Chains A and B, each alone.
Chain A
Amino acid sequence: MDIKLKIWRQPGPDQAGFFEDHRVEADPHMSFLEMLDVLNEQLLVAGKDPVAFDHDCREGICGACSMVIDGHPHGPRAGTTTCQLHMREYHDGAEITIEPWRASAFPIIKDLVVDRSAFDRIQQAGGYVSVGTGSAPDANTIPIGKRELDEAFDYAACIGCGACVAACPNASSMLFVASKVAHLSLLPQGKVERKHRARKLVAAMDAEGFGSCTNHGECSASCPKSISVDAIALLNREFIRAGLARD
């Protein structure tokens, strides 16, 4: 397959970026990132600067991939990370545009690599159950219904990639924050701190400079783990509940 690429290049955070054109001979069985490996090998052997991009597990779970492909975070296929996208999705002669996540809360480090440490700081603000090592009761002490558990799990499946932010016209991180709040507040273990958690996470999210949610739903549509936008309704409910509480 003859693939034409238009790739965002940016030498550093404070330098201007630009699009650069490249051509690659790809195989339909290649993954999208393997196609970029081939491009980088070409560039390298020619003595040119290869394209920097984040990637690691290459099986859709570490959340490192962060490319907007033809306007869609992680590319055209629903419920898929970039590393699980394969070239058989494209036709011979296809032209593909690749950009980094674009959000002021995710500053560009180089080319397609962005700084997502804002997500870590939000989680540090209260995305946990305060239980020290050794003080847990027997695991079967608290029964959890299968339905409750399945619902919490759907939100716990978030891989922290940031596609939701990249897809949102406001660069809002509501789906990310909501997933954590929903995961823990739906489980009995997380209920004790639910008010505190909702307040702290929302405050941290605002402090990082993410935009507000205006119910576009692009976040959920581009989420590689297909997390439902219902999470955001749940976050709003948790936040209001926390606001009304006296403690």
Chain B
Amino acid sequence: MDLDAKIPSGSLKDKWDKARFELKLVNPSNKRDHKLIIVGSGLAGASAAASLAELGYDIECFCFQDSPRRAHSIAAQGGINAAKNYQNDGDSVYRLFYDTIKGGDYRSREANVYRLAQVSVNIIDQCVAQGVPFAREYGGALANRSFGGAQVSRTFYARGQTGQQLLLGAYSALNRQIDRGKIKMHPRTEMLDLVVVDGHARGIITRDLVTGEIRRFAADAVLLATGGYANVFCLSTNAKTCNVTATYRAYKRGAGFANPCFTQIHPTCIPVSGDYQSKLTLMSESLRNDGRVWVPRNKADIGKPAKSIPEEDRYYYLEERYPSFGNLVPRDVASRAAKKVCDAGYSISKSGEAVYLDFAEAIGRDGQKAIADRYGNLFEMYERITGDNPYQTPMRIYPAAHYTMGGLWVDYNLMSSIPGLHVLGEANFSDHGANRLGASALMQGLADGYFVIPYTIGHYIATQYQGELSTEHPAFARAEAEVRERQRKLLDIGAKSTKAGAERKSVDYFHRKLGKIMWEHCGMARSASGLEQALAKIPDLREQFWRQAYVPGGADELNPWLEKAGRVADFLEFAEIMCHDALYRDESCGGHFREEHQTEEGEAVRNDEDFAHGAVWEYQGVGIKPKLHTEHLEFENVKLTTRSYK
């Protein structure tokens, strides 16, 4: 597998300029003759589709939602970072770069991250021009807040719905190009396989989710912007339909999957309330700006009303352990600290998984109105879900799976190890290392779509264009036959299990079982023995799935159960790769915490000697350990230090 990252030479700050000059261009009048497939219509997909259509390319864009506006980017609450330094508080491109590299625990590429920080400023300009209503000061200038452990205020926000407003901006740009006839949009259409011809990504096989029709699409390049795989945990903050299928299918066709064990657990989510739980709701991290996290200091106080526990008997564990960052430590640190106190028996709920997030002091200091202005919608949402009023009693929170830093390996030009296959946004592995900072996901998705891929895709087309291709090519026929065969198998399990009189089990049953295995062994803390147990359990569960999972309905109709079955079947294979990666990475870094590698105080211990690289896995067959390749990470500008938030 060729893992040349194609990082331009020269000084860090000149690399992107140099690349933009060296990347070949496609003649403007020829662009219309090049078709590009874009799968996914979230921030990365919609922004890429719009920007590439503006350049003149012929675009076909696909999403499985009923409208591109419903992609999961819409649910992001907190904000988007940019090195504008509007607040005059010491921010700069270099500082955003540095914070992102350090926050990622030195497991990302310097050149990519620097470029991300550079283009961050253009993103804000673009979004404002589209009509995105970012928060403003009374004088009319844009407002900023500090977010998720940053010591400067660089986060732009739009109430608690920054993701929705940014996505509506990208969606409007997409719509404009659809109106101009430059983009053909295919909603309710799911990509089920990638077609590779002569080593190049040349098309996809899709299923129309309404009619069940299986179709072939050919193009000159394929772009995946299909999001992350946090739903491998079953319970996560992701939308119900988020899945790994598109990237996993590409992996099975030869694309390297990088750092799959790098997953982010978000510290402030509403805890699980019962077995019927279908998803976990995130409460924006911005709450930690004013909320104080605590548990009772004495086990005797567990179960007593929060108000009755005096100040000195409360253990504000983040403030005590991390005096300089306090409640604002990065997500991985905050999540692990919550797990630690709960594992030690100090959880405030019977489930053993909850801590308090208390606003009493902030309400006393600033008044209820000020707090309502800042977090009103979040408090309301919390009350709606739990029935508790957070103005009166502290919120109960616990970490939940939220985002995945791992993804398909891409080079500096966002191209995967399959030529022609480009990967954008959360679906790729590149910029966040082992831990993503708050408000950086929206930034990366839009950077990739608006300001990176429009430059880099042209280089591929100009230098490696493979010529016209018909969907009659045998590679399409083979891929289509495999998709149909797999679909038939999924529908057959139901038929068989009914005939045998065996107990029918739902696909959800298996998804929940898989989620429990992954949360326990490959979640907030991992160990060699736990991961080995998971690797023993997953193949058994997968085998049981293919014997017992009952999928009702047929192939030629709207069938949400068939859709889900295909996605869960992929998770059941993919989960093993995550565990192999977590087992291989014999160090703790960022969101990946190996219990064997911690200080006496329980802080993560990295091993830069052996693991300052991306671990990239190559498919070898279902149930067979994938082949490892590595991309060594050069740090020419920052010095690797131990992250400390004390």
* Inter-chain contact B168/A47, CB cutoff 8 Å: no
* Inter-chain contact A133/B276, CB cutoff 8 Å: no
Interface of A is mostly: loop
Chain A positions near chain B (C-beta within 8 angstroms): 12, 27, 29-31, 33-34, 37-38, 41, 44-50, 52, 54-64, 80, 84, 86, 88, 109-110, 113, 115-117, 119-120, 123-140, 142-146, 149, 152-153, 156-157, 159-160, 183-184, 187, 189-190
* Inter-chain contact A149/B125, CB cutoff 8 Å: no
Given known pairs A29-B273, A62-B70, the reply for A49 and B552 (CB within 8 Å) is yes
Nearest-neighbour CB distance to chain B for A101, whole angstroms, equals 12
Give Cα A6 to B248, complex, Å.
40
User: Does B99 sit within 8 A of A, measured CB to CB?
Assistant: no
Give Cα A159 to B69, complex, Å.
9
* Inter-chain contact B65/A44, CB cutoff 8 Å: no
Contact residues in A for B142 (Cβ distance below 8 Å) = 139-140
Give Cα A125 to B178, complex, Å.
9
User: Does B171 sit within 8 A of A, measured CB to CB?
Assistant: yes
* Inter-chain contact A41/B172, CB cutoff 8 Å: no
* Inter-chain contact A34/B277, CB cutoff 8 Å: yes
Closest to A66 in B: B66
Partner of A127, one of B54, B175, B552, B560: B175
Contact residues in B for A48 (Cβ distance below 8 Å) = 552
Give Cα A113 to B210, complex, Å.
10
User: Does B580 sit within 8 A of A, measured CB to CB?
Assistant: no
* Inter-chain contact B161/A61, CB cutoff 8 Å: yes
Mark interface residues in B211-244 (1 if CB within 8 Å of A CB, else 0). Answer: 0000000000000000000000000000111000
Not counting A34-B278, A61-B161, A146-B138, a sample of 7 additional A-B residue pairs whose C-beta atoms are within 8 angstroms of each other reads: A45-B503, A62-B65, A120-B69, A123-B172, A134-B122, A136-B125, A137-B125
Chain B residues within 8 Å of chain A by Cβ, number: 82
* Inter-chain contact B557/A110, CB cutoff 8 Å: yes
Nearest-neighbour CB distance to chain A for B266, whole angstroms, equals 13
- Of all A-B residue pairs in the complex, the 9 with the closest CB atoms, nearest first, are A143-B140, A136-B129, A128-B172, A136-B125, A139-B128, A133-B51, A57-B239, A56-B239, A153-B133
Give Cα A131 to B129, complex, Å.
7
User: Does B553 sit within 8 A of A, measured CB to CB?
Assistant: yes
User: Does B151 sit within 8 A of A, measured CB to CB?
Assistant: no
Mark interface residues in B78-104 (1 if CB within 8 Å of A CB, else 0). Answer: 000000101000000000000000000
* Inter-chain contact A62/B74, CB cutoff 8 Å: yes
* Inter-chain contact A37/B137, CB cutoff 8 Å: no
Given known pairs A61-B75, A63-B70, the reply for A84 and B385 (CB within 8 Å) is yes
Partner of A160, one of B67, B173, B187, B557: B67
* Inter-chain contact A189/B75, CB cutoff 8 Å: no
User: Does B456 sit within 8 A of A, measured CB to CB?
Assistant: no
* Inter-chain contact A56/B65, CB cutoff 8 Å: yes
Contact residues in A for B478 (Cβ distance below 8 Å) = none
Contact residues in A for B134 (Cβ distance below 8 Å) = 139
User: What are 28 residue pairs bridging A and B, where the CB atoms are less than 8 Å apart in the complex?
Assistant: A30-B276, A34-B276, A44-B552, A47-B504, A47-B550, A50-B552, A57-B70, A57-B75, A59-B381, A109-B558, A115-B210, A124-B176, A124-B179, A126-B179, A131-B126, A133-B450, A135-B129, A136-B129, A139-B125, A139-B128, A143-B136, A145-B140, A156-B131, A156-B165, A157-B161, A160-B70, A187-B133, A190-B131
* Inter-chain contact B128/A123, CB cutoff 8 Å: no
Closest to A128 in B: B172
Give Cα A132 to B384, complex, Å.
40
Contact residues in A for B141 (Cβ distance below 8 Å) = 140, 143
Partner of B381, one of A60, A183, A184: A60
* Inter-chain contact B239/A58, CB cutoff 8 Å: yes
Given known pairs A50-B552, A130-B176, A153-B159, the reply for A116 and B67 (CB within 8 Å) is yes
Mark interface residues in B347-372 (1 if CB within 8 Å of A CB, else 0). Answer: 00000000000000000000000000
Closest to A33 in B: B278
Give Cα A57 to B381, complex, Å.
14
Give Cα A137 to B240, complex, Å.
38
User: Does B597 sit within 8 A of A, measured CB to CB?
Assistant: no
* Inter-chain contact A156/B133, CB cutoff 8 Å: yes
Give Cα A145 to B136, complex, Å.
7
* Inter-chain contact B136/A144, CB cutoff 8 Å: yes
* Inter-chain contact A129/B281, CB cutoff 8 Å: no
Partner of B550, one of A44, A125, A140, A159: A44
Contact residues in A for B50 (Cβ distance below 8 Å) = 133
Nearest-neighbour CB distance to chain A for B379, whole angstroms, equals 14
* Inter-chain contact B75/A59, CB cutoff 8 Å: yes
Nearest-neighbour CB distance to chain B for A228, whole angstroms, equals 16
Closest to A63 in B: B70
Partner of A129, one of B122, B172, B178: B172
* Inter-chain contact A117/B131, CB cutoff 8 Å: no
B109-144 residues with Cβ-Cβ distance < 8 A to A are 122, 124-131, 133-142
Contact residues in A for B420 (Cβ distance below 8 Å) = none
Give Cα A136 to B282, complex, Å.
33
Give Cα A45 to B74, complex, Å.
34
* Inter-chain contact B54/A133, CB cutoff 8 Å: yes
Nearest-neighbour CB distance to chain B for A66, whole angstroms, equals 9
* Inter-chain contact A156/B178, CB cutoff 8 Å: no
User: Does B506 sit within 8 A of A, measured CB to CB?
Assistant: yes
Contact residues in A for B69 (Cβ distance below 8 Å) = 63, 120, 123, 160
